[in-house]
Structure 1
Amino acid sequence: MTLVILVVDDEPDIEFLFRQQFRRDLRARRFDMDFARSAAQALGRVAQTGERTLVLILSDINMPGMSGLDMLPHLRARRPDVPIIMISAYGDSQTRNTALERGADDLLIKPIDLGWLRREIEARLEGAA
C-alpha cells in the first residue's frame, strides 16, 4: 500500500521545499507526495488515487482561479475521510474560521513550521498503518 500526501500550491518553490524536507522519507518510500498547482488539478488528483491511499491534503488558500477555500467543500464531498490542512500567509481569525467552516481540519500559517508539519504527517502515517 502506497501512502500519499497531496500538496496543492501554485508556487513551484513549495514542491522543491517539500521534496528537500522529506527526501529521506520519499527515498525510503514511507510515503509519496503528489503536487498540484491549481484547485482543478488537485480535484482531478483526488479522483484518481487508484491503489494508493491518500492520507493528507495540504493546500494553500491563495491561488489563481479557484481558491483553496472555494476548493474545500469539493474536496470534503469527494473525500470526507482525508484530513485537510490549509496553508496561508494570513493567520487572522476570519481566515481560520472560514477554513474550518468549509471543512479544513487545521490552518498552518506561513512560514511553515516544518517540525509541526513533520509531526502531523507522522500521526497520519501511524493512523493509516
Structure 2
Amino acid sequence: MSAYILVVDDEPDVEELFRQHFRRDLRAQRFAMDFANSAAQALSVIANYTGPSLILILSDINMPGMTGLEMLPKVKALRPDVPVIMITAYGDSDTKRKAIEGGATGLLTKPVDFALLRQEIDQRLEGAN
C-alpha cells in the first residue's frame, strides 16, 4: 500500500461513516485511511508521519480548540505538497474564499458527496503511482 489519507474531524461518527463508504477500498488496500479528532492531533500525525505517501488531508473547518482554517497554514508549512480539502456544514462564499486563500485545494459541504470525494481520491491515487 503506497497511499495514505488523513481525515480530521471532531465528530465521533465521521470515522465510521468514512470507513463504511470506503470499506472496499480499505479492504483491498488501495489506500489507508487514518483519523484525527482534533487539529492538534492531526498536526502531530502529519509532523511525525513516515509511512506510505500521504496523498490527501480532509479536514472539518469547525472544531473546538483550533479550527480547520487555523490548522491549514500549519499543515501547508509541514507538507506543502499534500492537498487539503476542507469540509464544512456552511458552504458560503466567504468560507470557501478563506479556505482557498489558506491553501486548501477545495471545499466540500456536509453531507459529504462521497461519489465526488471518491473521484478526488482516485485522481490522487493516479498521481501517486
TM-score normalised per structure 2? 0.98
Show structure 1 runs of 5+ residues with no match.
Answer: none
Partner of 1:68: 68
Stretch moving more, 6-15 or 43-52: 43-52
Letter aligned with residue 56 of structure 1? L
Mapped to 2, the partners of 1:34 and 1:41 lie a distance apart of 11
Letter aligned with residue 102 of structure 1? G
- How far off is 1:49 after superposition? 1.7
The DSSP-based 3-state class of the residue aligned with 1:56 is strand
Q: Root-mean-square deviation (CA), in Å?
A: 0.8
Deviations 1:58-96 (A, max 9, x none): 000000000000000000000000000000010111100
Aligned length: 129
Partner of 2:89: 89
Does 1:28 pair with 2:12?
A: no
Does 1:13 pair with 2:10?
A: no
The DSSP-based 3-state class of the residue aligned with 1:59 is strand
- How far off is 1:2 after superposition? 2.7
Deviations 1:5-61 (A, max 9, x none): 000000111100000000011011110001000000000111122132100000000
Mapped to 1, the partners of 2:50 and 2:101 lie a distance apart of 29
Letter aligned with residue 43 of structure 1? L
Deviations 1:85-128 (A, max 9, x none): 00001011110000111110100011100100000000000000
Show structure 2 runs of 5+ residues with no match.
Answer: none
Mapped to 2, the partners of 1:87 and 1:16 lie a distance apart of 16
TM-score normalised per structure 1? 0.98
Letter aligned with residue 124 of structure 2? R
The DSSP-based 3-state class of the residue aligned with 1:35 is strand
Partner of 1:2: 2
Partner of 2:127: 127
Partner of 1:37: 37
